[in-house]
Structures are given as structure tokens and as C-alpha cells.
Amino acid sequence: QVKVVEYGGGSAQAGGSLRLSCVASGYTHNSDCMGWFRQRPGKSREGVALIDSEGRTVYSDSVKGRFTISHNTAKTILYLQMNSLKDDDTAMYYCAANSCFDSPLEESLDRVLGQWWGRGTQVTVSA
């Protein structure tokens, strides 16, 4: 049984930083991809960043250059370093494991799929 839990959400001022962590117990990222998704108020869930088991990454245009996805050496913890936060980054952030289903990273970011999902962690950015 895989259980995904996100940590690290909270409040920040615009221009500030936060780091999210995701622990997927019972899962090691040896194949497919893992990712971060978010749902902003009044909008559908969207892809933020994905990373495959080789460390290749893809980002949405809205966060490219500001956010960094990574995992620890053992590939048991997924991170999202968020810098230069904007109030538009306010959202519930979700971690998902096995999000690619053998599709390319870029295509998977838009599909918003995941075999296992966490319950989310809230990020609120104030201007």
C-alpha cells in the first residue's frame, strides 16, 4: 500500500520562498515519474513540475525559472523548492507518484494523472 503525504505548505510573502516535501511510503521512484500539481482557487488542477527516475525534469511555464523539483539520493522524498513566490502561486499543492504511464514528461504535465496522490498542502502567498 502506497501512502503519499505532502509537507511544508504555509504562508509566505510575495518574493519569498517555501520548500515542499513529499513522502511516498511503500514507494521508491525507480521508474515512471513523480510530480507536483496544484489547484488554484476557482481553477482546475494543473501540472507544476515532473521528474522522471533519471532526474529529467519539466516545468509549467508559470513556474519555470522559479521552482525546482528534485528528490533525495534514495529517491524516497520528493521536493519542490519554490522561490520568488507570487500571489498567483496561492493554491493547494499535491504530490503524485507514477504520473507518466510511459508517456513523455512534457505530455504528462498537461494530463494531470497519478497512480497515487497525497491530500495536498496549502500554500498562501500574500502581496
Q: Rounded distance, CA 30 to CA 15, Å?
A: 34
Convert the pLDDT of each residue in 15-64 to its tens digit: 999 999 999 998 888 889 999 999 999 999 999 999 999 999 999 999 99
C-alpha torsion sign, points 98, 30, 60, 102: negative
Which cell is 47 given? 501540472
CB 82 within 8 A of CB 67: yes
Cross-strand pairs, 123: 10, 91
Name the strand (E) or helix (H) holding 1: none
Q: What percent of the chain has pLDDT over 90?
A: 87
> For the chain, how far is it from start to end, CA to CA, in angstroms?
41
